[in-house]
Amino acid sequence: MYLQSLEIIGFKSFASKTVLNFHRAVTVIVGPNGCGKSNVLDAIRWVLGEQSAKALRGGEMADVIFSGTDSRPALGMAEVSMTFGDCEKDLGVAWNEVTITRRVFRDGQGEYLLNKTPCRLRDINQLFMDTGVGRSAYSIMEQGKIDQILSSRPEDRRAIFEEAAGITKFKSQRKEALRKLEATEANLLRLTDVVREVKRQIGSLQRQAAKARRYQALLADVRVLDTPQQPSYL
């Protein structure tokens, strides 16, 4: 699997539609200060699901949308699409190419797409889990990240090693299974309470039904006894 292309529209300094094609031999992007190299990395991090505006060097998520210049008006939407090639084996899918897209509007609304089909961020995270691709995975090492890793807690470094070892997906599935088991146990406990209450109500209803049947029998006897006897003539 390799990064094939990155399409950016209205994201930060990329007002016009910009397509960056990455061939297998591409190993680095160079350019002068202020040309947008950092914005390319921010676009990659953002399309992979980054939720922190601070991590994208902004105050709020709407700051990623092109804010306009003296010669160009501000835009109302930002969109980034990232395409991976030869990914059937690594991602376990039937597609040779996978494109993930993220859009955000100035009113705060946003959406994710997987091969032009609306999806959830969770679907994208699960798709790229254990591949090293992700907003916080080891494939993105910005300036200062190495020092941060070396000085971080052992638990934080362990997450990176687990991602590289390919066991993050299994741990995530185990965590999800345990969460479902806990929810099922809570539902069973609630069901037990409901059954106990229903049984109590059934017992009360059975006693009331027995009293009603006895009342009906006694009422029938009273009606028979109250019926006047016809005189008999010999």
pLDDT single digits (tens) 63-75: 899 988 888 999 9
> What are residue 227's phi and psi, to 5 degrees?
-70, 120
Percent share of the chain, pLDDT over 70 = 84
Selection from 88, 83, 91, 45 nearest residue 64 by Cα: 45
Give the amino acid at 5.
S
Query: Sheet holding 18-21: strands in order across?
Result: 18-21, 2-9, 77-85, 97-105, 110-114, 117-119
Mean pLDDT of the chain: 84
Residue 230: its pLDDT value, please?
62
Residue 36: its pLDDT value, please?
81
Q: What angle do CA 205, 209, 213 make, to 5 degrees?
A: 175
Alpha helices (runs of H) in the chain, residue ranges in sequence order? 37-47, 88-91, 121-128, 145-151, 154-165, 168-226
The pLDDT-based confidence of 119 (bands split at 50, 70, 90) is very high
Name 164's bridge partners: none
The single residue listed with the structure tokens 């990914």 is 87
**Region at 116 (left for phi over 0; alpha for psi -120 to 50; beta for the rest):** left
